[in-house]
Amino acid sequence: DTEVTQTPKHLVMGMTNKKSLKCEQHMGHRAMYWYKQKAKKPPELMFVYSYEKLSINESVPSRFSPECPNSSLLNLHLHALQPEDSALYLCASSQDGFGGTGFYEQYFGPGTRLTVT
């Protein structure tokens, strides 16, 4: 089963709201990712967690705060967002972690469509 789930599917929030996006996988993958995707553009990497530790933060503004409570779950906490943060937020996972070999492909969830008003 190569399934990554994301909730909610759609989210509309004001600039003063606090909300969270949730991602879950039960494939035993050791690495999990958050991407931001604007319309008609490829995904842009935001964060990478490997073995539940933050490995990569691509200079993302602090209004985005990731959290990895356990190996299957990844959250993205949102606070004081701007209208330009409206986008599709994709979660992905891959089998590799530190010292991993093979199976480097990432499996993506269906995404959360975020609109900031």
- For another protein, the binding residue among 41, 54, 61, 115 (CB under 8 A) is 41
Residue 93 interacting with another protein (CB under 8 A): no
Residue 69 interacting with another protein (CB under 8 A): no
- For another protein, the binding residue among 45, 60, 73, 80 (CB under 8 A) is 45
Q: Which stretch binds another protein (CB under 8 A): 14-22, 35-43, 61-69, 72-80?
A: 35-43
10 Å CB burial of residue 49 (0-12, 13-18, 19+) is buried
CA distance 100 to 113: 32
Question: What three-state secondary structure class fits 83?
Answer: helix
CA proximity to 106, closest of 117, 97, 95, 116: 95
- For another protein, the binding residue among 34, 36, 78, 106 (CB under 8 A) is 106
CA proximity to 19, closest of 60, 76, 88: 76
Residues interacting with another protein, by CB under 8 A?
A: 2, 31, 33, 40-43, 45, 48, 50, 55-56, 88, 90, 92, 94, 96-101, 104-111, 113
